[in-house]
Structure 1
């Protein structure tokens, strides 16, 4: 049993759950790099999606009336369609190299999207939503890191209000839950070496993080949310580049 990786994962889960409740994202951006470093990239995909689904299911009743169901479907359907290819991609390619590529794309995408949103114009519609949903599904299944694409989409479409935070909860619950369900049949390897009580114990920091985030959520304004998304996306992308490069050089 790797007790150290379990304890580190618990801290990451606590912080990630609080961020997920406050700004609608932050879970994968925090938990994926940490778990990938202490337990391996394949373990990160499982942990991020399993406990991410639990966290979002806890949050959904609190934000139910603000969910934008139409936009949810536009993002969810293409995300589901690309899950199996994403899992197969994780098996076929060097995961650390894939992390470097994804991280670089995420950082570059944030820079471009910030430049785009410096004007009053926004870009949204079926094409943008299908592209965003497809990429999210592919990346979340392969490297557990679809969140930077959510951040990019929210910036480009100017979707920063409370409906964004609310809609992301059922979106991630469904996407993550489906990945966990199909993973044993497509890519069953790489689970962390934790006992059953360790897996059950990780639910506690999930719940605690949601409660903490719930208390802070109403104190965060729209501008703060936008900048939180920018910072989280940049940190998430940079952490993937650093983690992937370090593993390739090891």
Structure 2
């Protein structure tokens, strides 16, 4: 079972890394539901943040000159401030209940994103940035699902250009690295029972996904990629909700 969960996680990591490079999102939306389903929601928090930081660090040198540093700070500070409360929430909740919560957030994120996309009105400002950063930090630390908030913020603010893709790389690298460093002291339980070679091997699909996304970034239809990620996220979220609900009822 551990080997199967590792193989499935590797496939999710490959797709998530490619999406992250192409459109600045997709990592958490793809990897979190899949890993939460096969290895548990606490495992998903660790895997998503550990390898997400690696993926973003690989991408960052190629997009460094397009980073919006001011907007990065607005989002990053509240995100970091809410990490410890998020980890404490993850530690306190039942595993199957966490599965339902992760699935519900994934589905809600998709539905809200689609709804917001249908309007042309955009707004942005310090209040929205602080709220978005706080929500991202809390949800990413507790259930590994800060990505829907990032997508929602980009839609509400109208932030869709190349600076969004660039800025998300140092943002996720810093957020994810901090969670990985803090987690052993706050919520050390729930790591996947994979052999050391498995943890090391997962770096390969991360790098491969980034390279694939880099090659495809200027060739694919960004709208098609975004909708593919949305569909995968929706399927993963529904699967998690069903699995968690059945376990709770049983």
Q: Structure 1 length normalisation: TM-score?
A: 0.90
| C-alpha spacing 1:2/1:154, structure 2 compared with 1 (3 Å) | same
Deviation, structure 1 residue 248:
2.5
Deviation at 1:160, TM superposition (A): 1.5
Separation in 2, partners of 1:38, 1:78: 31
Pick closer, same or farther for the CA change 1:91–1:164 going to 2, 3 Å.
same
* Corresponding position of 2:107: 107
1:1-250 to 2 correspondences below 5 Å: 2-101=2-101, 103-108=103-108, 110-221=110-221, 223-224=223-224, 227=227, 230-231=230-231, 234-235=234-235, 237-250=237-250
- Alignment partner of 2:121: what SS? coil
Over 3 Å counting, the alpha-carbon distance change for 1:36 and 1:210 in structure 2 is same
CA contact (8 A) 1:14 1:206 kept: yes
Report how far residue 61 of structure 1 moved.
0.4
> How many positions carry a matched residue from both structures?
250
Q: 1:52 to 1:38 in 2, by over 3 A?
A: same
Q: For residues 37 and 108 of structure 2, what CA distance do their matches in structure 1 show?
A: 23
- Residue segments in structure 2 that go unaligned for 5+ positions in a row: none
Alpha-carbon separation, structure 2, partners of 1:69 and 1:32: 27
Cα RMSD for the two superposed structures: 2.2
Q: CA deviation at 1:60?
A: 0.3
Unmatched segments (≥5 aa) in structure 1:
none
My pick for the range that moved more, 108-117 or 161-170, is 108-117
Question: Is 2:54–2:173's contact at 8 Å kept on the other side of the alignment?
Answer: yes
Q: CA deviation at 1:116?
A: 4.1
User: Residues 40 and 99 of structure 2 are in contact (CA less than 8 Å); yes or no, is this contact kept in structure 1?
Assistant: no
| Displacement of 1:118 | 3.0
Separation in 1 of the partners of 2:69 and 2:205?
Answer: 29
**Cα separation, 1, equivalents of 2:106 and 2:11:** 24
Taking structure 2 as the reference length, the TM-score comes to 0.90
State the distance in 1 between where 2:239 and 2:96 align. Answer: 12
Summarize the Cα distance change of 1:109–1:190 in structure 2 as closer, same or farther, 3 Å threshold. Answer: closer
- Report deviation, 1:229: 6.4
Q: Does structure 2 conserve the Cα–Cα contact (< 8 Å) formed by 1:148 and 1:237?
A: no
Q: Deviations over 1:36-82 (max 9, x none)?
A: 12211111111111011000100000111111111111111110000
